[in-house]
C-alpha cells in the first residue's frame, strides 16, 4: 500500500537553531555507532503524530524511503525531509507543534551524545551520577522550573500513566479525570503517546481553558526505543527524549508531584512495579508521593486483578502505598490536590526542591539499563527470597522485556529471530504473573484494538 508523503525544508521553532560542524557530522553518521538511525527513527515517530501504529518496525517499513538531513546556512540550520508522512503537514506547511517536537528530538539526541555519554563528570555507574544526568537532561530541555519563575507557583504536576491500547470508555474517562484536574490548576505529564497518555492532557486543556489558564503544561517524556510505538500526541507542548526507559521512569518520579494510573497493559504494569519498588525501599518510607489507580466502572475488574497481583507478589505493604478510585473523576482530582499539598509541606520542611525530587532514593537495580535479551529474560530472579523492592525491580524488568517484544523494533526483531522470551521463576510468583498477562491479552491491552496479538513471551513455572 502507498502512503502519502511529502518533501520539505524545515526551519527551527524550538530552542535549538545552531549546531557545530562536528555535531552535524554526528547526526548524519549512519554507521553502527552513529546517531543518524536514532535521529531518523525519533523524527519519523514525531512526524507520525496522530497516526494509528503501535509497532516501531511497521512504522519504519511503511516509510522506509524517509530520509532526514541537516543543512547549515548563514542563519543557522534547517532540516531537509524526504518522503515524510504527509499527515504532519497542512497545505504543504508543517504543523507548528510537530516542528517544535522535531527540534526537541535534535536537541536531546545531541545533548545526551555530547554532554552525557562518555563524560567523566557523569558517573553513570553510580546512582548519584545517573540522577545527575537525568537532572541535566531535563534542565537542558527547560523542563525544570523553579517556583520563582512566572506561571510556575506551587507543585502542581500530575504524572498520568496508562495504556495506549484502551477501549473508548476508558479513554473518555481519562479525559474527564484530566478535565477535573485542569479545573483545579494541575498540569499533566504523560509518556506522550495515545490512549491514556492523551486523554488526561486533552481533558486538562479544556479545564485550563475554562479557568483561563494560558500557561498549562502538557509534558511528554519518552525514549528512543518506545517513541515509534507511542508517537507524541498533538496536545504535548513540551517534549523530552530520555536516553533509555530507566532514565525515562526516573524523570517521571523526580519531576511529578502525584501519579495517577489508568488501565493499561504490560507497560503500565512496568511503571507500577517501578514506582512501588522505589516506595518500598526503607529509605523512602516517609516520603509522600500520592499514587492513585482509577478507571470507569467497567474497569473495576482490571484494578482488582492488579491489586491481587501486587498482594500476591509484593505484599500488603505495597498495596498500602496506593488508593483505588473507581468511576469518580472528582475524587481523583481532589485526592491529587490533597496529596500534592502534603508533598509541598514535606519538601518545605526538608528544604527539597519543588521541581525535582532529590530526596527520593532510587536503588541501582532501578537505574541501570536492562537489555531484554533472551538470556537476560531467562536469568531474572523472580522468587520471594529477596526484599520486596528487589523483587519489584526484577518483575519490572520482566514486563519491560514484554513491552520490548510487543512494540520495540529491536525486541520484535529478537523475538522473530530467537523465538519467545522465557520468563522463569518460583511458582508462587509465576502463577499470578501468568494470570495477569492472560487477562491483558483477553482484554486486548497488548496491541491497538482490531489487531491480533501474538505473544512474545512464555511463562515457565
pLDDT digits (tens, 9 = 90+) for 220-236: 999 998 887 788 999 99
Cα(235)–Cα(137) distance, integer angstroms:
22
Compute the average pLDDT of residues 160-174: 93
Cα(271)–Cα(162) distance, integer angstroms:
9
Provide the pLDDT for residue 78.
82
Please identify which residue in the block is written with the cell numbers 539499563.
369
Q: How confident is the model at residue 56 (pLDDT cuts 50, 70, 90)?
A: low
CA dist 373 to 270, 276, 376, 419, Å?
A: 17, 24, 5, 11
Task: Characterize 249-259 residue by residue with b for buried, 16 or more Cβ atoms within 10 angstroms of its Cβ, and e for exposed.
Answer: bbbbbbbbbbb
Provide the pLDDT for residue 286.
95
Give me the residue spans of the domains in the chain: 5-116, 133-350, 371-460
pLDDT digit string, tens, across residues 38-51? 888 899 989 988 66
Provide the pLDDT for residue 73.
66
Provide the pLDDT for residue 70.
82
Compute the average pLDDT of residues 326-340: 98
pLDDT digit string, tens, across residues 172-213? 999 999 999 999 999 999 999 889 999 999 999 999 999 999
Residue with the larger pLDDT of the pair 365 and 408: 365
What are the backbone angles phi and psi of residue 228, rounded to the nearest 5°?
-65, -30
Provide the pLDDT for residue 176.
98
Compute the average pLDDT of residues 48-71: 75
Tell the CATH topology of 5-116. Answer: MCP/YpsA-like (3.30.1850)
Compute the average pLDDT of residues 87-96: 91
Lowest mean pLDDT: which of 235-249, 276-290, 437-451?
A: 437-451
Residue 1 pLDDT exceeds 50: no
Task: Characterize 389-422 residue by residue with b for buried, 16 or more Cβ atoms within 10 angstroms of its Cβ, and e for exposed.
Answer: bbbbbbbbbbbbbbbbbbbbbebbebbeeeebbe
Residue 117 DSSP label: T
CB atoms within 10 A of CB 385: 8
Residue with the larger pLDDT of the pair 205 and 448: 205
Compute the average pLDDT of residues 268-292: 96
Residue with the larger pLDDT of the pair 77 and 364: 364
Greatest mean pLDDT range, 97-106, 117-126, 203-212, 418-427? 203-212
**Percentage with pLDDT > 90 across the chain:** 64
Residue with the larger pLDDT of the pair 21 and 311: 311
Span 133-350: which CATH code? Answer: 3.40.50.450
**Percentage with pLDDT > 70 across the chain:** 91
Residue 128 pLDDT exceeds 90: yes
Q: How confident is the model at residue 18 (pLDDT cuts 50, 70, 90)?
A: low
Residue 152 pLDDT exceeds 50: no
Q: What is the mean pLDDT of the chain?
A: 89
Pairing relation of β-strands 323-326 and 291-295?
parallel
Provide the pLDDT for residue 49.
81
The residue ranges of DSSP E strands in 76-204, in sequence order, are 76-85, 89-90, 93-94, 157-161, 187-190
Amino acid at each position: 500500500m502507498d502512503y502519502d508523503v511529502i518533501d520539505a525544508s524545515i526551519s527551527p521553532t524550538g530552542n535549538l537553531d545552531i549546531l557545530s560542524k562536528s555535531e552535524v557530522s554526528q547526526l548524519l553518521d549512519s554507521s553502527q555507532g552513529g546517531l543518524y538511525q536514532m535521529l531518523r527513527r525519533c523524527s519519523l515517530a514525531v512526524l507520525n503524530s496522530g497516526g494509528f501504529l503501535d509497532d516501531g518496525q511497521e512504522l519504519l517499513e511503511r516509510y522506509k524511503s524517509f530520509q532526514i538531513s541537516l543543512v547549515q546556512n548563514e542563519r543557522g540550520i534547517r532540516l531537509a525531509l524526504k518522503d515524510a508522512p504527509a499527515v504532519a503537514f497542512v497545505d504543504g506547511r508543517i504543523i507548528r507543534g510537530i516542528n517544535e517536537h522535531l527540534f526537541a528530538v535534535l536537541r536531546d539526541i545531541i545533548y545526551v551524545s555530547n554532554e552525557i555519554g562518555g563524560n567523566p563528570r557523569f558517573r553513570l555507574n553510580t546512582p548519584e551520577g545517573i540522577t545527575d544526568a537525568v537532572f541535566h537532561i531535563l534542565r537542558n530541555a527547560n523542563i525544570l522550573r523553579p517556583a520563582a519563575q512566572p506561571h510556575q507557583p506551587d507543585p502542581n504536576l500530575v504524572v498520568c500513566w496508562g495504556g495506549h491500547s484502551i477501549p473508548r470508555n476508558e479513554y473518555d474517562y481519562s479525559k474527564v479525570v484530566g478535565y477535573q484536574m485542569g479545573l483545579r490548576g494541575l498540569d499533566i505529564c504523560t509518556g506522550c503517546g495515545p490512549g491514556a497518555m492523551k486523554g488526561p492532557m486533552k481533558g486538562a486543556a479544556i479545564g485550563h481553558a475554562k479557568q483561563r489558564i494560558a500557561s498549562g503544561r502538557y509534558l511528554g517524556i519518552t525514549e528512543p526505543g518506545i517513541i515509534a510505538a507511542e508517537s507524541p500526541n498533538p496536545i504535548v507542548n513540551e517534549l523530552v527524549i530520555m536516553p533509555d526507559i530507566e532514565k525515562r521512569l526516573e524523570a517521571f518520579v523526580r519531576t511529578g508531584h502525584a501519579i495517577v494510573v489508568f488501565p493499561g497493559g504490560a507497560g503500565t504494569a512496568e511503571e507500577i512495579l517501578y514506582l512501588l519498588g522505589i516506595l518500598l525501599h526503607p529509605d523512602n518510607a516517609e516520603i509522600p508521593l500520592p499514587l492513585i489507580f482509577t478507571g470507569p466502572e467497567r474497569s473495576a475488574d482490571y484494578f482488582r486483578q492488579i491489586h491481587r497481583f501486587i498482594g500476591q507478589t509484593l505484599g500488603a505493604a505495597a498495596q498500602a502505598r496506593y488508593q483505588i478510585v473507581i468511576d469518580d473523576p472528582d475524587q481523583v482530582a481532589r485526592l491529587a490536590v490533597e496529596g500534592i499539598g502534603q508533598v509541598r509541606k514535606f519538601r518545605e520542611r526538608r528544604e527539597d526542591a519543588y521541581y525535582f525530587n532529590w530526596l527520593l532514593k532510587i536503588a541501582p537495580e532501578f537505574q541501570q539499563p536492562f537489555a531484554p535479551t533472551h538470556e537476560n529474560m531467562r536469568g531474572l530472579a523472580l522468587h520471594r527470597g529477596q526484599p520486596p523492592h528487589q523483587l519489584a525491580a526484577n518483575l519490572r524488568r520482566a514486563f519491560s522485556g514484554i513491552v520490548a517484544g510487543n512494540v520495540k523494533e529491536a525486541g520484535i526483531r529478537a523475538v522473530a529471530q530467537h523465538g519467545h522470551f522465557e520468563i522463569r521463576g518460583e511458582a508462587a510468583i509465576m502463577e499470578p504473573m501468568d494470570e495477569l498477562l492472560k487477562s491483558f491479552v483477553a482484554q486486548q491491552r497488548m496491541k491497538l484494538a482490531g489487531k491480533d496479538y501474538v505473544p512474545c513471551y512464555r511463562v515457565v513455572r
